[in-house]
Structure 1
């Protein structure tokens, strides 16, 4: 008994016609008939009643159909499993990361993946979050770490790793440094130093300002949070950063809570809804790495 014989038998049973079944499996009608005859001889029973205008199943054929479908499905699963393993032995995995974002758990996951699957070529590129999301959607990247406002991008699988608010950051001598909190309007009375459009933190700031009718003066932009912080520390404006970033800059800057900023700044891994084997494995390793980092 051969898998192709079962495939042809199922095709005839579902099409109720040898000609249509032959077109479906891309061989001649005589070839389909010959293979099913061979299957019937091996099983010792007629599976297809050919006496009428349509090909109908005999009682034996009805009993065989369920098992034939199950056998073909099992064979497909075996093939997929082998393909998945092969995909983890060779090929490539393209990873994106928001510019100037140092995230040790992601690096831990990449190192673990490389150690477990050295045959897979890893590539890592930086860009702003909007372009990274677009590249994942287009299939140019397999997975990316991005910053977004309020919610993960629609149409992609995702794992949120950081959910926090933005803050204003000012040097000790700045007028806002004497207060623990401020409104967006109070902050926008001063020059603003911010990350560029296309980044999650900037999207949050722009969205919240628009929500209260403000048009802030963004006097300086830099793609790296370190640069934004350094510019603010030198008195060139109020930096807009995430709350967690302030741990790094606490020696130079004071965090001021924004009382009417209500949008969450998210850092999330995003990938295609049906990832390849390598992407799925990295996602699993990232879940472990970020989970361990949170303990």
Structure 2
């Protein structure tokens, strides 16, 4: 009697079918591909590009014109108004690129069904969020570089020469951008529709700009307003940037008479954690009326 051993032909065929299914690339490659896709999509929205990139530059030009580009903020300090307001413009630009951009764009993608369709694809959710974060970092860097170039070339704002200051700029920028991005993802669930997203998000950003020392000298704001601003990340992002672009003696006019780098790290990191927790718990791939 002859005995036949080996794998049944049906199992071999099934295994061949499984092996024939293409595997997804790694997470890093997917995240990078998604980042490129998001950046291209962002630059196709010309009105958004003009607003995000031009707003900080225009506001700096307005303040320099109103207060006088050659007038000193405090006599004997050598700090002119464009130099003082530059850090606030950098900070508000980061908030526009991260918080406002993501809160409105994700709400719109949810409303038009883009997120629902994307969620049905094999693309991991992590790659989607990493792509959004990558887009924010790239656009914020381009925006900040443009703002610094205009400040230096047009308004003669001196740029730091100490490498330590640029290191401070780097960690404040990255931490502030990350906190703004995750808070934008979390806040994207607040607007009920994509059409109402701008009406809900923009006023929040404007109020924070007014109370956080972006449009005014922070130490001249009412004490209660300073205390309210201290709860939110924009105030600390602007203060961290002031420590980069202003001389050390200007720390004396801060409410605490210091740059408070430790507090800046703590508050921005706290908002980063809060944004992650809230975003994970509240993020929705579908509209409220879609189940």
Length-normalised TM-score, structure 1: 0.23
Q: Return the structure number with greater helix share.
A: 2
Higher relative contact order (CA 8 A, sep 6+): 2
Length-normalised TM-score, structure 2: 0.24
